[in-house]
Amino acid sequence: MTWTAARLPRLDGVTVVVTGATRGLGVATARGAAAAGATVIVAGRDHDAADAVARSLGGSSSAATLDLTDRASIERFADSVGEIDILVHNAGVLPTSRVETADGFESALATNVLGPFVLTNLLADRIRGRIVAVNSTVHSAGRIDFADLHFERRAFSGARAYAQSKLAQALWMLALDRRLRAARSEVTTAMAHPGWAATEMTGVTRVAAVDALVTWLGNTIANTAVAGAACSLYAAAMPIPSGSFVGPDGFLGMRGAPTLVGRSTQAADPVLAERFWETAAALTGSELSA
């Protein structure tokens, strides 16, 4: 039988934080968790949008403002949150131009990995269950340029920045899991990818014909938001080994039902993972609190 969010175990009494939960995959993830009985904290940059989603979920779900490119926003959010069971790092960005945050970070790296890195470190002693990061098969095309992480010298490409950030995220999660296992923590980790979501790549190449083809293909064969969110929900709530990667079971992982999938050789490299962890810690001045 195909696994869908309807087969989630009951999550009554479980508190779930979903970042970037004001549209698309994030909304579908929040709705799936709430439908299973969870109390969902809908986190997003636009508080009004987050509040509208939280109200639509009903129950005791609530909204909170969170901008992962803004250290003060991350710290305010962390200060406002009590104990949680599941943290889903869903927020993400694929930039079409280079944007630098107030801390001097390239926006994709900040949103997709450095912000979540800081948030997780701040919340670590209040997380009781699982930490999930929404990744992408694009991580396999990533290359981390430690000498120019923020594209200050090399020519900027949104696709390259996104791929770098997703590989960096996978390495961070690997290093995080290794630390939790070494500490004999009961907290587990997982990654998920939703398959091909057409909106991820729209407009990135800036070649009209190529972008039109990508959009058409995506609209034809892409996973829906609900199907993509099923992978995140499976990663968040099902009894799978810590460090698992969940993705669609269909052709090339573009669509289908959740299953355990592999990752690139780079993304499984513990030495590279430790190097990125140390780099992220140095850049942010943040370390794991648990």
Query: Residue 174 belongs to a domain with what CATH number?
Result: 3.40.50.720
Residue with tokens 């083809």: 213
Tell me, yes or no, whether 193 lies in a domain. Answer: yes
Catalytic residue among 77, 105, 151, 162: 162
Task: Note whether residue 158 is domain-resident.
Answer: yes
pLDDT at 268: 98
- 234 belongs to the catalytic site: no
Residue 222 lies in domain = 11-283
CB atoms within 10 A of CB 232: 31
Give tens-digit pLDDT for 64-83: 999 999 999 999 999 999 99
Q: The pTM is what?
A: 0.92
Residue 58: count of CB within 10 angstroms of its CB: 9
Tally of domains in the chain:
1
Q: Is 53 inside any structural domain?
A: yes
Per-residue pLDDT reduced to its tens digit, 205-250: 555 565 566 566 556 666 788 888 999 999 999 999 999 999 998 6
Residue percentage of the chain with pLDDT more than 70? 88
Does residue 2 form part of some domain? no
Please report whether residue 206 resides in a domain. Answer: yes
| pLDDT less than 50: residues of the chain | 198-202, 204
- Domain assignment present for 91: yes
Bridge partner residues of 40 (DSSP)? 16
Pairwise CA distance, residues 150 & 89, whole Å: 21
Q: Is residue 289 part of a domain?
A: no
Does residue 59 lie within any of the structural domains? Answer: yes
